[in-house]
Structure 1
Amino acid sequence: MHNPSRLTPLSKALMLSQMFRSRPSMAAMGLALCMPVAGQAQETVADDSNTTGTVNLAPTAIDSHYLGTSTDGTGSYTTGAVSIGKGAPQSLRETPQSVSVVTRQVMDDNNLTSLSDVLEDTPGITFQYRNFGGHVYTSRGFSLLAESFLVDGIGGQGYQITGWMQPDMAIYDRVEVLRGASGLLVGAGQPGGAVNLVRKRPTAENKFSITTRAGSWDQYRVDLDGSGKLNDSGTLRGRMVAAYDDSGSYLDGRDSRTPLLYGIVEADLSDDTTLTMSLRRQEQVINGYSIYGLPRYSNGQSLGLSRSTNLAQKWNRHESDMTEVFTEVAHRFNEDWTSRTSLTYSQGGFDQNIAYARGAVNPVTLAGSNFQGTLFRKDEVDSVGLNSQLEGNFNAFGLEHQVTLGADWSKQDANTHQATVTRRTAVNVFDVNENAFAKPARPAWQNDIDTTEERAGLY
């Protein structure tokens, strides 16, 4: 049998509510709700023999933790501040646009391993593939072009992001997506918005993780992430991230391999100055690569082909690579004023050889589609971006003001080589032969295009 003296306040409340169940009046309900508090107070002051009608409550402490900007390792689905654009990080409430933040926890929960995965999961953003390995992202009806993409708030690297290879998300802490005109925060660009990829940084505590994944169509992936201090005092910290993705595809004869290596080091040169340096190397090889979709009957009707149909030859191939070096010096003058200077240099490109098929199919003869030729293309891009800013607070006219002064500059040099070998070979779209003909030798480059884009600004 239960001992009433050992009942908890909650148990007493439940007993009282049972007693008053026959007459569920508002007064009875109010008494039942109040009793746990009274019972708890009586237990707290049970040793006080003087009943004066007052209750002495024990001291109460309320602890609050402000969310920082970093989301890695926090398990958070939001961030305390965003760093997209110029100036100091500011809260979402203080950012004069609609902003979504895809944190590290969201990427891990939803298995978002590429930028296209992230943006497809972001409200208001649409994504579609484009020929030659490019990608088109759209926000509020406008395409997000190269200048709309930032890395740690620095522009000049967007061509690699939109041009040929999806950035691997293993090295990023979060992705900040701003929808709407971004000129105030980013500078000249498209009115659709801007995307800022924020790198992972070293941590003061030692940690290491291994993540493995497996999925449909023979998709396998492993991620390694290690971080911690490199000396006893903790003034030197480092982080290393490695990933390898080996994936098949729903398309026949198509598969890809994507290795990634990323290292970053932070050194406290003094109590107020920190030097950061990082290196990223990412490669990708896609076999069975194609640039066109499937044909239709000449009368416009669908061929009813399986979605796995791939009009490519076995030797169709797309190879891409990217090497990126990042350096940053941050200095704190006092509690109110800080400066940050960042430099990013990247070099990359892609190499393609693609047999492509086109042509409507005659509904009677089932002929009409042909491999029309082989395209050879090689792109190379060198990019550099520099940003330097001073930010701080000061009091004037009885108010505290925040000011940011800075300058940025970026330059991209791109070179495109292209050649085509014309050779018409009939293709049976209902039973594609991936070895219909051998890969031809690449002729001399027929097109050689050089482009340079340079941007500079003060803010």
Structure 2
Amino acid sequence: MKFVTMAAGWVAALVCMPAMAQPPGLPSDRVEEDAGQDREVVVTGRAQRLYRVDTTTLGKAAEDPLNIPQALQVINSDLFTDQGARDATDIYRNISGVTAFSYAGVTFRGFRQDQSFYDGQRGNPFIGFSVPQLFNISRVEVLKGPAGLFFGPGSPGGIVNYVSKTPSEVSALRMVATLGNYDRAGISSEATGKVDAEGVVTYRIGGFYEAMKPFRYNTKNSALIGDGGLSFRTNSGGKLTVQATVYDKFPSGQPPSRRAGRQ
């Protein structure tokens, strides 16, 4: 009698249990449809590119860095931003074979080198007792080894070419204030965008000022950079850019001692 009572209780419990074959409120045809449908998940990220660039102007014409037979390394603006780089000394550690020597000078593959290129033109406005600033630089191209075929007589270690920022069709405004050690203080601002609605003419204008007193005696200095440019779209694949940049490096409180301009 006791066994019959227990069996009846188990049967009643099984009958009263809710059906769990599918989630409540979800039709069976929907379950079959979701099970047979392929879902695509796309994950994108800039880090997958490893700071790679598709075009370099280091040479006679714009070319993919992979098509240049010499050893070439390009440091782009994404790396500047991720590392918080403000001047050239902040990126030397990313370039194999290059170490800082003093101010604008570097040791390139064992050779002392002071000269650099700006937009493929020989002449470093920061040569001497100052450090190249990255405010108006979009990327730094480093061609390693002798490069007389491209640039004529030069340092045997290689070539460092600073590529300036140019006007963009994407409107943007950026302002930065800086405070740091050694009485470092500065401010910078830049803007770019379209002049007309179609984007045939674009502009870029920027200004940079910074002053600091390094740990060396009698080296307090200030840096002033003014940069402006206009780009004209000549056809679907061509663009003409006119740009001028003025660099002023001088001891704080004294008139400019050197001025350099490009056009």
The TM tier, using the shorter chain, reads 0.7 to 0.9
Equivalent-residue separation in structure 2 for 1:316 and 1:244 (angstroms): 15
Structure 1 runs not aligned, ≥5 long: 7-41, 49-54, 68-74, 288-314, 326-459
The residue that corresponds to 1:103 in the other structure is: 76
Equivalent-residue separation in structure 1 for 2:36 and 2:82 (angstroms): 47
Amino acid at match of 1:46: E
The residue that corresponds to 1:89 in the other structure is: 63
Equivalent-residue separation in structure 2 for 1:110 and 1:87 (angstroms): 30
Judging changes above 3 Å, is the alpha-carbon distance between structure 1 residues 5 and 229 closer, same or farther for their aligned structure 2 residues? same
Judging changes above 3 Å, is the alpha-carbon distance between structure 1 residues 64 and 316 closer, same or farther for their aligned structure 2 residues? closer
Judging changes above 3 Å, is the alpha-carbon distance between structure 1 residues 85 and 161 closer, same or farther for their aligned structure 2 residues? farther
Structural mapping, 1:364-403, within 5 Å: none
The residue that corresponds to 1:141 in the other structure is: 110
Does the CA-based 8 Å contact 2:104-2:132 persist in structure 1?
no
Judging changes above 3 Å, is the alpha-carbon distance between structure 1 residues 81 and 138 closer, same or farther for their aligned structure 2 residues? same
**Structure 1 residue aligned with 2:121, among 152, 155, 169?**
155
Structural mapping, 1:58-457, within 5 Å: 58=38, 77-91=51-65, 93-119=66-92, 121-129=94-102, 135-144=104-113, 146=115, 149-152=116-119, 154-158=120-124, 160-163=125-128, 165-252=130-217, 254-271=219-236, 273-286=238-251, 319-325=257-263
Judging changes above 3 Å, is the alpha-carbon distance between structure 1 residues 237 and 76 closer, same or farther for their aligned structure 2 residues? farther
Does the CA-based 8 Å contact 1:281-1:322 persist in structure 2?
yes
Cα deviation per residue 1:212-244 (whole Å; 9 max; x = unaligned)? 222111111222121100111110100112111
Judging changes above 3 Å, is the alpha-carbon distance between structure 1 residues 64 and 217 closer, same or farther for their aligned structure 2 residues? closer
| Secondary structure in structure 1 of the residue aligned to 2:53 | coil
Q: What is the deviation of 1:135?
A: 4.0
Does the CA-based 8 Å contact 2:247-2:261 persist in structure 1?
yes
| Secondary structure in structure 1 of the residue aligned to 2:127 | helix
TM-score w.r.t. the length of structure 2 is: 0.74
Cα deviation per residue 1:51-88 (whole Å; 9 max; x = unaligned)? xxxx85548697999x9xxxxxxx97332232212223
User: Relative to total residues, which structure has the larger helix share, 1 or 2?
Assistant: 2
Judging changes above 3 Å, is the alpha-carbon distance between structure 1 residues 252 and 186 closer, same or farther for their aligned structure 2 residues? closer
Does the CA-based 8 Å contact 1:246-1:257 persist in structure 2?
yes
TM-score w.r.t. the length of structure 1 is: 0.45
The residue that corresponds to 1:297 in the other structure is: none
Equivalent-residue separation in structure 2 for 1:83 and 1:43 (angstroms): 59
Equivalent-residue separation in structure 1 for 2:216 and 2:130 (angstroms): 19
RMSD over aligned Cα atoms: 3.6
The count of corresponding residues between Structure 1 and Structure 2 is 239
Cα deviation per residue 1:272-303 (whole Å; 9 max; x = unaligned)? 5432101111112225xxxxxxxxxxxxxxxx
User: Relative to total residues, which structure has the larger strand share, 1 or 2?
Assistant: 1
Amino acid at match of 2:243: S
Amino acid at match of 1:201: T
Does the CA-based 8 Å contact 2:98-2:108 persist in structure 1?
yes
Q: What is the deviation of 1:98?
A: 2.9
Larger RCO (CA under 8 A, 6+ residues apart): 2
* Identity score, percent: 20
Does the CA-based 8 Å contact 1:164-1:320 persist in structure 2?
no
The residue that corresponds to 1:450 in the other structure is: none
| Secondary structure in structure 2 of the residue aligned to 1:106 | helix
Equivalent-residue separation in structure 2 for 1:156 and 1:110 (angstroms): 28
Judging changes above 3 Å, is the alpha-carbon distance between structure 1 residues 210 and 318 closer, same or farther for their aligned structure 2 residues? closer
Does the CA-based 8 Å contact 1:76-1:105 persist in structure 2?
no
Q: Where in structure 1 do 4 or more consecutive aligned residues deviate above 6 Å?
A: 42-45, 61-65, 315-318
Amino acid at match of 1:109: D
| Secondary structure in structure 2 of the residue aligned to 1:238 | strand
Q: What is the deviation of 1:193?
A: 1.0
Equivalent-residue separation in structure 2 for 1:44 and 1:186 (angstroms): 68
Amino acid at match of 2:99: T
| Secondary structure in structure 2 of the residue aligned to 1:162 | coil
The residue that corresponds to 1:46 in the other structure is: 32
Structure 2 runs not aligned, ≥5 long: 1-19
